[in-house]
Chain A
């Protein structure tokens, strides 16, 4: 049984927890270790919830989805395969998919309701965006984003933070059908290379 490393308490940034620690917490969670799961929650909940909130916008729905995400993590932790990526990547991919599923389902039920929320909810991410701005990595990401073409950046943000499909993004940006997916990919690749991801 792998030893769990202590996680610094009171630090919500997953960047501070090493990838190996998160992976170990996930493996321990799969064996029913509630303490390891609690540590995983402490290390990642602000990131998960921040993303879910950014996509969904409605605070109470976002909280529901964050709860669902962590329950799914608990239930499916054994399905995480270390050889296919980092624990954080697995977790955030799951969280993003779930948030996007929620906004698309809500849209299918009631477009009006969704647009009402989009127009009327104040999104408290300005504060956190400032905090991210202040951090070294946040500044680097922002300046890397600024290097993208405006269309690449907008397509990427509408898809990732807006939860829109590439076909919807194409229409929103008045792009020929089928080109938004290319802009999204080009934007991500530029961002990846600028930030040296996976190197």
Chain B
């Protein structure tokens, strides 16, 4: 996303009107953009005026409840400055990806907690897709804490599947990744052998794909799916 386009998200960010993906991307951008940081700070201060229109005291019992609660909660230590002056880009992307996938507790972290240093430039093709201004995203949940996301950027001309907590493929089998073409046929787009957290750049025609999927296939993969998909992605329903 160009600096100009992402800058336009500052207002929506200040009022929490971004979805998780946009929020993660904007925070990543903001870490490196002093102009956006300053604008967001001013706009957040402006929202305080709106908040001031609705003052309502909570029930009096709440005060005692909260003051009793804090006795059992240890305040966290401050975040110390990192010893390494520059953080590898990989880490920034992990943070962004983790935020997208909701790993960072409830999405309530304020950006200043997450970003302590400026990320360095130089990014992979997969990250280029994820950070593209025209990126489309479709998420699939594969069970408790297991999820996969398909990212596609027509501008970059590629698609990426990001998985989280995938169990390893059954022995003798692999995960096969697919892109669905205009006729609705799944076309092979790559193999994934290991589980866990992966980010895989897909092969094949990403630009015209209408979605994709993941199946479990015999080792070496198949030309067409031989099992029903464990994840289905659809760009039309994506946000």
* Dominant SS among interface residues on chain A: helix
Instruction: Output the least CB separation between B82 and chain A (Å).
Output: 14
Q: Assuming A71-B66, A156-B15, is B42 touching A51 (CB within 8 A)?
A: no
Number of B interface residues, CB 8 Å? 53
Instruction: Output the least CB separation between A145 and chain B (Å).
Output: 8
> Which partner residue on chain A sits nearest B46 by CB separation?
A192
Task: Kindly state whether residue B3 has any CB partner on chain A within 8 Å.
Answer: no
Q: Assuming A159-B12, A184-B11, is B51 touching A51 (CB within 8 A)?
A: yes
| A107-118 interface bits toward B, Cβ cutoff 8 Å, 1 = contact, 0 = none | 000000000000
Q: What's the Cα separation between A93 and B41 when bound, in Å? A: 10
Q: What's the Cα separation between A88 and B63 when bound, in Å? A: 19
| A137-153 interface bits toward B, Cβ cutoff 8 Å, 1 = contact, 0 = none | 11001101000000000
Please give, as numbers and ranges, the residues of chain B lying within 8 Å of A51 by CB-CB distance. 51, 54
Inter-chain residue pair count (beta carbon < 8 A)? 212
| A178-199 interface bits toward B, Cβ cutoff 8 Å, 1 = contact, 0 = none | 0011101111110110010110
Q: What's the Cα separation between A50 and B63 when bound, in Å? A: 15
Q: What's the Cα separation between A169 and B12 when bound, in Å? A: 11
Q: Assuming A67-B65, A141-B53, is B48 touching A88 (CB within 8 A)?
A: yes
| B56-74 interface bits toward A, Cβ cutoff 8 Å, 1 = contact, 0 = none | 1111001101110111011
Q: Assuming A182-B8, A188-B14, is B54 touching A54 (CB within 8 A)?
A: yes
A192 & B12 in contact (Cβ 8 Å cutoff): no
A97 & B16 in contact (Cβ 8 Å cutoff): yes
Task: Kindly state whether residue B44 has any CB partner on chain A within 8 Å.
Answer: yes
A66 & B52 in contact (Cβ 8 Å cutoff): no
Q: What's the Cα separation between A131 and B60 when bound, in Å? A: 19
A63 & B58 in contact (Cβ 8 Å cutoff): yes
Task: Kindly state whether residue B17 has any CB partner on chain A within 8 Å.
Answer: yes
A129 & B70 in contact (Cβ 8 Å cutoff): no
A188 & B47 in contact (Cβ 8 Å cutoff): yes
Q: What's the Cα separation between A101 and B75 when bound, in Å? A: 23
For residues 70 through 121 of chain A, which have their beta carbon under 8 Å from a beta carbon of chain B? 70-72, 74-79, 81, 84-86, 88-90, 92-94, 96-98, 100-101
Instruction: Output the least CB separation between B117 and chain A (Å).
Output: 14
Instruction: Output the least CB separation between B101 and chain A (Å).
Output: 15
B110 & A90 in contact (Cβ 8 Å cutoff): yes
Please give, as numbers and ranges, the residues of chain B lying within 8 Å of A85 by CB-CB distance. 41, 44-45
Q: What's the Cα separation between A30 and B52 when bound, in Å? A: 25
> Which partner residue on chain B sits nearest A13 by CB separation?
B55
Q: Assuming A30-B78, A96-B16, is B56 touching A50 (CB within 8 A)?
A: yes
Task: Kindly state whether residue A32 has any CB partner on chain B within 8 Å.
Answer: yes
> Which partner residue on chain A sits nearest B63 by CB separation?
A41
> Which partner residue on chain B sits nearest A160 by CB separation?
B15
Interface, chain A (partner B; CB < 8 A) = 12-13, 15, 29-32, 34, 37-38, 41-42, 45-47, 49-51, 53-54, 63, 66-67, 70-72, 74-79, 81, 84-86, 88-90, 92-94, 96-98, 100-101, 124-125, 128-129, 131-132, 137-138, 141-142, 144, 156, 159-161, 163-167, 169, 180-182, 184-189, 191-192, 195, 197-198
Interface, chain B (partner A; CB < 8 A) = 8-12, 14-19, 37, 41-59, 62-63, 65-67, 69-71, 73-79, 106-108, 110, 112-113, 239
